[in-house]
Chains A and B, each alone.
Chain A
Amino acid sequence: MFAEQLINGITLGSIYAIVALGYTLVFGVLDIINMAHGEIFMFGAFVGMLIATKAQAPLWSAFLGAIAVTGAMGYLLERFALRPLRGRPGASHLASLISTIGVSILLENVAHKIFGAGNQLFETPFAEIRFDVGPVTVYLVQVLILAISILLMAGLSLWLYRTRAGKALRATAENLETAGLLGVDTTRIITATVVIASAMGGVAGVLVGMAFNYINNQIGLSMGLKGLAIIIFGGMGSVSGAMAGGLILGLSETFVVAYGSSGYRDAIAFIAIIVVLLIKPQGLFGQAAPEAQR
């Protein structure tokens, strides 16, 4: 049973991590929390469901479709909810937070209108593939989820620290005006960041559908809140912090249920987060000054 619960915890944690990566990327560059990320993630799940379950198309097309739709939503979000507020004299730092909250409410209700309120079945032949390791049953989806989360984290780190575009992004994050003066197309960099973060949300959505078989228009809210907690826990803007935080939260939630009581599932996980933050207020992998994290 320990091995099975370990797998459950790692699967849940990897999904949390991918959701949190999307938050952390946007926060790292723009210093804003994108409250609509959870709802974009939810749309990714629904697009994946439409392609893989309703149209019975192959799984890779579900991923591509979800990436395309959520990427486009990311672009629209940046273009209409974030860009008009950026650099406006007198615009509060919180203005963009509020506008993303508005977008999240809009998206949740649009999903309600289009897909209805109840649970929708997400089934793919791929999600049924399993193999036995001794007494433990492992689903291939669970391995895939872990692999994708590690790949995304590694790819993101490489991109940020080893490429010119990554360098431009970090420069933009450090100081928007200076980066612009030095020839970085900051508008393009910011747009690309939001699009990439949203597309990662789309990938996470499809993975959630495959792992749990059901999706509804509320998953964005619950997953989004967990993702937010994780980036605070792991360190705002830190890629490895999002990964580690996600896995720790997923595993602790699972083991609280396995060896304690499921009524305390969230309580104990969040008490752990509070304790860590009391000892290290900047989060696990965060650095002291919020500007110098990446």
Chain B
Amino acid sequence: MSRTIRLAGIAAMLAFSLVFLGAGKNASKPAVPPKAKAPVIDARIGVISILTGQGSGYGEAITNGFKLARDEINAKGAVRIQLVIEDSSGKQEQALAAAQKLINSEQVAAILGPTLSTEMKVAGPEANASGVPIMGTSTTAAGITQIGKYVFRNSLPESLAIPASVGMAVKKYNIRKVALLYGNDDVFTKSGFDTMKKMAEDLKLSILTIETFQKGQSDYKAQLTKIKGLNPDAVFCSALYEEGAVILSQARKMGIKVPFVGGNGFNSPKVIEIAKDAAEGLVVATPWFADKNDPKVKAFVARYRKAYGKTPDQFAAQAYDALYIMAEALRKAGTSDRAKLRDALAGIRNFDGVLGRFSFDAERDVVMEPVVLIIKNGRFQVFQ
């Protein structure tokens, strides 16, 4: 039965998207200013995102970010972007099919997405082989842009986020001895831990103990009692926020008062919601901070709130910047030719977006300064 529902859903969505795209086309035509100083560059940009099923919350934020950026870019007039949005349902095979459709039938100039790193592992090689630039906006695993020279991303990998938060906390609190705690059954938290451990060794901190936990565990008291007995200056904790918040809560209750330092996975308003007062003193690094005192960020947050009724999260912000980066590359390339667009993209340096100053490195990966945040007085604040 669920199959029929899903089929019906896809059919409805296709119909809807046709209507929607058609409407977008009609609406954007009269909006083009008839200025003759530079030819308008028309480009079809494919989007692969999770629109249905588990994880569709991410897809919603991401496509919202794209649509907002598209409307703004098209209103400016130098570049006219048409988005062709495909659903991947978070599945590899569907992401691959979507990529093939965008590359071959839709003839897009470039692809934004897919949402998950595992999806990029199949869609990336396909786009690369066809010579279509593809840029991940939420893929944080290692080895994404190494797929090939047509693969880009603007999402901050954990290997950049953690050194920022750890480095700043160590300097600020004069940390000498640390306890490490991580989830050993998740690729994301495990790779975060590897970065933390390397950081601790590079900074010549003494590692008192390394403790592990598993996803969904509810009792962390044994590990925390041990950590408490060793009396560290700080706890480096590579966890996703669900487990991380519970760890914080139990640690504070037990009397562990030292700072906790986490990565991007720990960065969610949910931490404060779940752990309440116990969340105080958590240091995380993130590419996106909605309360940043920057006119660009404020304007984006205001427009996004007006359009979608909620504060943009990091996925919306990364998508928003990604389309602007794409528009910038289109403008520089002066054409929507795929190979020329790739070269222009690879040449993007010091782009000022809502995430801050952004560049691609020689391997088309992210170069940017993450924001380090601390939870103080019940909310995230810039840590300085």
Q: Which residues of A contact B (CB under 8 A)?
A: 1, 4-5, 8-9, 11-12, 118-119, 121, 137, 208, 211-216, 218-219, 221-222, 253-254, 257-258, 261-263, 265-266
Contacts and interface: CB of A to CB of B under 8 A. Distances in A.
B366 to A, nearest CB: 29
Contacts, number: 77
A274 B9 CA distance: 50
Nearest to B270: A118
A1 B229 contact: yes
B187 to A, nearest CB: 16
A263 B212 CA distance: 6
Main secondary structure of the interface of B (DSSP, over half): helix
Interface residues of B, number: 28
Interface of B: 184, 210-214, 216-219, 221-223, 225-226, 228-229, 242, 245-246, 249-250, 253-255, 270, 274, 276
Given A118-B270, A137-B255, A222-B217, A5 B246 contact: no
Given A119-B245, A262-B212, A212 B250 contact: yes
A294 to B, nearest CB: 31
B267 to A, nearest CB: 15
A254 B218 contact: no
A265 B219 CA distance: 12
Given A118-B270, A119-B245, A257-B222, A216 B212 contact: no
Nearest to A216: B216
Contacts of B254: 137
A263 B33 CA distance: 63
B246 A119 contact: yes
B242 A119 contact: yes
Contacts of A11: 221
A212 B219 CA distance: 6
Contact of B221 (A8, A119, A208, A219): A8
B246 A213 contact: yes
A258 B228 CA distance: 11
Given A119-B246, A213-B246, A219-B218, A5 B270 contact: no
B181 to A, nearest CB: 9
Nearest to A137: B255
B253 A213 contact: yes
Closest 6 CB pairs of A and B: A257-B222, A1-B229, A254-B222, A218-B216, A262-B211, A8-B221
